[in-house]
Chains A and B, each alone.
Chain A
Amino acid sequence: MLYREAGQFKASFAEDMQIFPIRQDRIAMVLLLAFAFLGVPLFASEYWFSAILIPFLIFALASLGLNILTGYCGQLSLGTAAFMAVGAYAAYNFQLRVEGIPILVSFALAGFTAAAVGVLFGLPSLRIKGFYLAVATLAAQFFIVWCLTKFPWLSNNSSSGVISTQKIRILGIAFDSPAAKYLLVLTIVTLMALAAKNLARSTTGRAWMAVRDMDVAAQVIGIPLMHTKLTAFAVSSFYCGVAGALYAFCYLGSVEPDGFSLDLSFRILFMVIIGGVGTVLGSFLGAAFILLLPILLDTTLLPTAHALGLPFSNATVSHIQTMVFGALIMFFLIVEPHGLARLWQITKEKLRLWPFPH
């Protein structure tokens, strides 16, 4: 009943092609955005902004980037964090070295820098695929982090490559409170998520999916492999680069190259798998899940263990966290390879029929 589509007629091609073809989806989306932009700043505390909401949005953007590459184009990458690092350091350097450059421009330029680097490391994908490519992207991971540590120019001669980001000012307004940063991140992420959703339905997106499903067949029907794969790498790295810039400027404020470790890459990969490979929604769900899970374990495990009289230390909790992450990945791959996004689809199906089960 809630999702009844009967009576929603599409009378023009434009209506048929819109991003959210179902009225309920459009209403829900508007309500959600209104709540995120207007409601959340009223209720949320400082802790919620800086410890949960901002990182959630940034990681969602990064996993959206990886999802474009892995979920839509089928090229597995283990170097996501490295592309984020490129974005963070590029934005820092643009702010530092170009006089009076607006911060949003330097974010965009950071994205383009990351895209260029991404294309460079995507070149091997033309000849290799699958596991070989995954290993090749590890080269990006280690090489980029090493470069950022060893070339002092990139971090303005700071020791061991630590950078402290500049203050954010847009049109003379300072964005220094958590709420203001949240709104800035939210705006950027919303726009980029919409762009990704649109891109996935365009010629480019369809070409990506064709390459993902069977690259040889895609080539046979006339899709240029080189162009398709490299655009996927470019767009994906662009997203990761912007996410990295936001990560440095709006979340941490001060980052070091080693912070963009392989571990971070894996965490973003987990977000994509758990959220749902090849969906925009999945990137958000996965990011929320992976971010909230440790907080949940932290708050529940220790008290439960103490209540049961078990000798639990903080180290044990972190080991259990690692185990739970690993087990969840295997669980999702076995039971629900399409991730949390699929659960939402199932819910929608049920709501269509509700309250009658058949």
Chain B
Amino acid sequence: MQFFFEALIGGLLSGVMYSLVALGFVLIFKASGVFNFAQGAMVFFAALTVVGFIGKGVPLPLAIVLAFGAMVLLGLATERFVLRKLVGQPPISLFMATIGLAFFIEGLAPMLWGSEVRPIELGIQDEPIPWLLERFDIVVSRFDLVASGIAAALVAVLAIFFQKTRIGRALRAVADDHQAALSIGIPLERIWAIVWAVAGFVALVAGLLWGSRNGVQFALTFTALKALPVLVLGGFDSVAGAIVGGLIIGASEKLAEIYLPPLMQAGFGGNFGGIEGWFPYVLALLFLLVRPEGLFGEKHIDRV
């Protein structure tokens, strides 16, 4: 039982990390209707830029600020040179353009900063919390807990930003209807620039946390693949969905990885590790059959 709880907590905590990446997707989708496949590449780019600046002797806080600047520039360039030219194209075209963008960034980032795996030190120790270990005999990493705290804080800030501020209201208006937002005087281009900057910031935070856990390397781009089932489960346009979806995916994938292979081994023989790779997708797929718009997604009505 205790083992179960340990796995569950570990899964939930890593689920928070998935949510963090999924959040970047949701932000851009909510405010511009673009499903940005390049989010994983942006996470990679952000982390690599921070490490790259540190390698040049820049202190960590300044490196983070500089990397944020780079992310904003990247977002602005994307908006200016790609998205603006694709206004009015079907969403699938925009999606494929972001696949192209992902490839572009995946080539650009290592060309600027080199492609070897590098550590990043945030000053949080990755060790079990003694209090929980003594009291309940459960191993929970301090790093995971802090990372979840940061993610939770970020989500809270973003939720307030979207709901309470003027810019947040403008963002939601743009997401609802580009034309109507334009006609009441909301500057569309500036709004998109803000959204990409915010998404860049989220990618930066995700990149720092994921990078300090596993090292800054190309595999960071796969965080996007981890976040996609989270999105499907939670709904593409819901911040809350990204959180809840992340928790569900994180927990279920850890539990599946632990409890399914022995069952399958009993049935078929052989080694059945690595379920983590597809289990979230199949879970999300089965869920879609029941509720196509996701947990918190908006129901869509098609008109001819």
Contacts and interface: CB of A to CB of B under 8 A. Distances in A.
Interface stretch (A110-118, A131-139, A231-239, A344-352): A131-139
Interface in B258-301: 268, 270-272, 274-275, 277-278, 281-282, 284-285, 288-289, 292
Contact of A216 (B225, B268, B304): B304
B92 A326 contact: no
Nearest to B116: A315
B104 A135 contact: no
B278 A329 contact: no
Contacts of B85: 334
Nearest to B78: A330
B203 to A, nearest CB: 17
Given A127-B292, A150-B274, A326-B101, A134 B107 contact: no
Given A76-B92, A150-B274, A132 B288 contact: yes
Contact of A327 (B104, B236, B277): B104
Interface in A303-348: 315-316, 319-330, 333-334, 337
B101 A150 contact: no
B104 A333 contact: no
Given A130-B91, A323-B111, A329-B99, A139 B304 contact: no
Contact of A139 (B89, B284, B303): B284
Contact of A220 (B228, B284, B304): B304
A318 B268 CA distance: 41
A128 interface: yes
Contacts of B282: 139, 143
B110 to A, nearest CB: 5
B100 A142 contact: no
A319 B107 contact: yes
A130 B96 contact: no
Contacts of B281: 135-136, 138-139, 142-143
Interface in B99-144: 99-108, 110-111, 115
Contacts of B231: 135
A269 interface: yes
Contacts of A214: 304
A132 B86 contact: no
Nearest to B271: A150
Contact of A146 (B103, B111, B274): B274
Contact of A132 (B89, B111, B232): B232
Nearest to A74: B92
B229 interface: yes
A325 B105 CA distance: 11
B229 A135 contact: yes
B264 to A, nearest CB: 9
A101 interface: no
Interface of B: 35, 82, 85-86, 89, 91-93, 95-97, 99-108, 110-111, 115, 225, 228-229, 231-232, 236, 268, 270-272, 274-275, 277-278, 281-282, 284-285, 288-289, 292, 302-304
21 contacts: A74-B92, A124-B289, A132-B232, A135-B228, A136-B232, A139-B281, A139-B282, A139-B284, A143-B281, A150-B270, A215-B302, A216-B302, A269-B96, A319-B111, A320-B107, A320-B111, A323-B104, A326-B101, A329-B99, A329-B100, A329-B103
When A and B form their complex, which 8 residue pairs have the shortest distance between CB atoms, in order from nearest?
A329-B100, A326-B103, A326-B104, A322-B107, A323-B107, A139-B281, A142-B278, A319-B111
